[in-house]
Amino acid sequence: MTQPLASRLEAMLQAVYPAHDCDALAESLLAAMGLAQNTPSPPTHQNLWDQRDVFLITYADSVQREGEKPLRTLKRFLDDCLRDSVSAVHILPFFPYSSDDGFAVMDYLAVNEAHGSWADVEAIARDYRLMADLVINHMSARSRWFENFRKRLDPGRDYFFEARPGDDISRVVRPRTSPLLSPVQTDDGERLVWCTFSEDQVDLNFANPRVLLEFAAIIRQYLEHGVRVFRMDAVAFLWKEPGTTCIHLQQTHELIKVLRLLIEHHTPDAMVITETNVPNRENLTYFGNANEAHAVYNFSLPPLLINTLVTGNCRHLKTWLMSMPPAQMGTTYLNFIASHDGIGLRPTDGLLDDEERQRLVNTMESFGGKVSYRRTADGRDQPYEINIALWNALSGTASGGADHWQLQRFLCAHTIMLALEGIPAFYIHSLLATENDYSRVEHTGRLRSINRSQCQLAELEQVLADRSSHHGQVFHELKRLIAIRRAQPAFHPNATQFTLHLGLQLFGFWRQSTRRDQSLFCIHNISCEPQQVALGDINLIGTDEWTDLLTGQPVTDLTATVTLKPYQSLWLSNR
């Protein structure tokens, strides 16, 4: 018999707040979410997605139109250009903010007036599954809560994590080179506040259960405005204990379970996605036992796939793919190659050695990329991420430099992503094949701005209509590939996947639909030289009729040897 919601919640809270009245806290959380103690539980291990799901990642103001709020322009662009291609849209933080392009939130419950209003957000949510950021680890130093912290007033007086002089922070894992502790003058003296990311992004104190209650109320508001997917930003750093690494602590995992439980009981088809830019094995822990994240970002995919395509060698990508556990029903991977951030390098720990990683960094720098660093516990600065537009990242090879295969290489990367187990997500500037934006870097002084261009809708529509431009070619071909993917049950995010062994220049895997009514062999030449595939070696069943979905051509001789051009792909299907 299913345990009552309040009892399940109380048991989770006991693991985080053993000294508190967790029965009363559970009741307060349910009240904040508008839930009754006997609210029925949603089905477990339920897939909230299928092969038709494709995410778009964008800022609210990535596409602009004179005289119109950007959220309305975004809706116009989605409806006119992507209605048949994407099912969901992740709008990066659209709240009032003070820095980091939205990730230093000043007010969680307001829409940035420059972007639009809640009505504009709701209009997008009515036609697309809306994903929004829950910027849960930190808040702006210019927020009302932090102003109250300085004045020693509620709410906010004890909402931020403080360190004491002499606290052991030697083991803390850092994603930045900036100081971890920032001295702040308050009305009762100087305080040391914890700043994992920047001085303007002050870490919240979840050891105070009132902070958890605040976020329950925030989540309820987001759900009522139409948000159906929650991206838990930087959640791995949520719980702090001096003397530890302050990352992936058990209390963090328990709090994700608490929030997941509240969210899915309020709205059973809502999803939680954890954003944990960390080594692969650590990332996988955020599935829990199918009771934490519904989906995790597949952070190792971008650096490994880019490395594969610029070296012409798929050994590491293939080894990683073979090591990836199939996601349990009710969980899945979110696959992406590029995002608003850079290409993370920590997810290559244990997958690329130092020399290979440095070669990748050097190659990306030769294609115009920049490198951001983090500070290790022993005080060394190590490359943390590569800042570069994906179009430029795939402009050539490590050994030969820029070449004339850029378009084919770029499309090959997305063809692989679309076929892999999981839900594909396209960053808007990859869908548009945008180049490095050096002027924006100069304007903002931030390396990540290299891949955060803003464009005018009229100009964008004009360039996308031009099939002679690489922007138009990429956009229309990616839409074609998406349409093919969405029609294949073998591309369901939880369909079976096995890695094929076809040498180092051919990257292949097999997908089979959950009903076993479709098999798909996905084979990709990841090199700049032609490669041969012996169809007899991949075990095509002779009694089935096979077709290459990418060309529409039937396969009539199952023993033939096929030559793949540089960066050409095959999707061989038996239906």
Residue 148 lies in a domain: no
Residue 147 lies in a domain: no
Whether 253 has a binding-site annotation, put simply, is: no
Residue 319 lies in a domain: yes
Host H or E run for residue 181: strand 181-186
Tell whether 568 and 440 lie within a shared domain: no
- The active-site residue out of 61, 120, 133, 233 is 233
Residue 566 lies in a domain: yes
Tell whether 371 and 460 lie within a shared domain: yes
Whether 492 has a binding-site annotation, put simply, is: no
Please report, for residues 35, 359, 387, 453, 539, the alpha-carbon distance to residue 438 in angstroms, rounded to integers and kept in the order given.
49, 23, 11, 10, 49
**Is 233 a residue of the active site?**
yes
Chain centre distance of CA 529: 32
Tell whether 503 and 419 lie within a shared domain: no
Domain boundary among 466, 491, 516: 491
Whether 271 has a binding-site annotation, put simply, is: no
Whether 354 has a binding-site annotation, put simply, is: no
Whether 417 has a binding-site annotation, put simply, is: no
Per-residue model confidence as pLDDT tens digits over 484-515: 999 999 999 999 999 999 999 999 999 999 99
Residue 2 lies in a domain: no
For residue 2, what pLDDT is reported?
A: 65
Tell whether 449 and 395 lie within a shared domain: yes
Domain CATH for 546: 2.60.40.1180
Distance CA(102)–CA(81), nearest Å, equals 26
Range of the domain at 459: 55-95+110-127+210-237+248-491
Residue 215 lies in a domain: yes
Tell whether 424 and 472 lie within a shared domain: yes
**β-bridge mates for residue 554, sequence order:** 547
Tell whether 460 and 502 lie within a shared domain: no
Helices marked H in 387-512: 390-393, 406-419, 428-431, 438-444, 457-465, 470-486
Dihedral of CA atoms 394, 400, 405, 411 in degrees, nearest 10, equals -30
Tell whether 269 and 377 lie within a shared domain: yes
For residue 490, what pLDDT is reported?
A: 98
For residue 367, what pLDDT is reported?
A: 98
Whether 90 has a binding-site annotation, put simply, is: no
Domain CATH for 80: 3.20.20.80
Tell whether 474 and 371 lie within a shared domain: yes
Tell whether 299 and 350 lie within a shared domain: yes
Contact 131, 125 (CB under 8 A): no
Whether 349 has a binding-site annotation, put simply, is: no
pTM (2 d.p.): 0.97
For residue 539, what pLDDT is reported?
A: 85
Can you give the pLDDT of all 575 residues of the chain as single tens digits? 467 899 999 999 999 999 999 999 999 999 999 999 889 999 999 999 999 999 999 999 999 999 999 999 999 999 999 999 999 999 999 999 999 999 999 999 999 999 999 999 999 999 999 999 999 999 999 999 999 999 999 999 999 999 999 999 999 999 999 999 999 999 999 999 999 999 999 999 999 999 999 999 999 999 999 999 999 999 999 999 999 999 999 999 999 999 999 999 999 999 999 999 999 999 999 999 999 999 999 999 999 999 999 999 999 999 999 999 999 999 999 999 999 999 999 999 999 999 999 999 999 999 999 999 998 888 889 999 999 999 999 999 999 999 999 999 999 999 999 999 999 999 999 999 999 999 999 999 999 999 999 999 999 999 999 999 999 999 999 999 999 999 999 999 999 999 999 999 999 999 999 999 999 999 999 999 999 999 999 989 989 999 999 999 999 999 999 999 999 999 999 98
CA nearest neighbour of 206 among 253, 147, 142:
253
Tell whether 395 and 540 lie within a shared domain: no
Whether 232 has a binding-site annotation, put simply, is: yes
Residue 41 lies in a domain: no
Distance CA(202)–CA(61), nearest Å, equals 25
Q: Give the total number of structural domains in the chain.
A: 2
